[in-house]
Amino acid sequence: MKKSLIFVIFAFVSVISFGQNSLAMGKTQLNFGLGLSDWGVPVYFGFDYAVSSDITLGSELSYRSYHEDVNNTYYDHSIEGVSGNFNYHFNNLLSIPQNWDVYAGLNIGFYIWNSPDTYGGSHSSGLGLGAQIGGRYFISKRVALNLEFGGENTFADGKFGLTVQL
């Protein structure tokens, strides 16, 4: 995971050369896609609101389900999550090309694990704090492909999807 994160950071930094692309203060963007996790494939939907040209605050909803085999007994589980995030966008600071958006930040979320009554495991619901680093590549003026890596939270190890600026 650390090698992948270092590679992504290096890749983003290596393309930095000129221009700027930032979400204008007071504007919103929608994000949706799929995540990577040990507990199923999360589907997520969220938004970011620009409180300045470099800082966004956001929220996200997620859902996933997965099937677990415990000593040849099968259990179906689901996890719903709601989280908030804070991101600093490095576009202005590093003069990143206009079609890129590189950011890093923190998130906090609450996750509800649903398991059958007969399940003897100890999956817990609770508050999780994490960090993320990510980027977007704008394929048009308002639509971008996004990729994000995170750690120390229940949501996912990473996620990819689309961003639409409103």
Residue 151: the pLDDT is 67
Read off the pLDDT of residues 152-162 as tens digits, 9 standing for 90 and up: 555 567 899 99
Residues 147, 5 contacting (CB under 8 angstroms): no
How far, in Å, CA of 37 to CA of 51, rounded? 30
User: What pLDDT is attached to residue 118?
Assistant: 85
Count of structural domains, the chain: 1
Of the listed ranges 68-77, 87-96, 102-111, 116-125, the least confidently predicted one is: 116-125
CATH number at residue 49: 2.40.160.20
Both tokens of 73, joined, read 């007994």
pLDDT of residue 11: 46
Report pLDDT for 32.
96
Q: Which domain holds residue 159?
A: 2-165
Alpha-carbon distances, residue 114 vs 57, 67, 122 (angstroms): 28, 12, 11
Share of the chain above pLDDT 70, in %: 80
| Chain segment 105-157, per-residue pLDDT in tens | 999 988 888 888 888 766 666 788 889 999 999 999 899 999 999 865 555 67
Q: Write down the mean pLDDT value for the chain.
A: 82
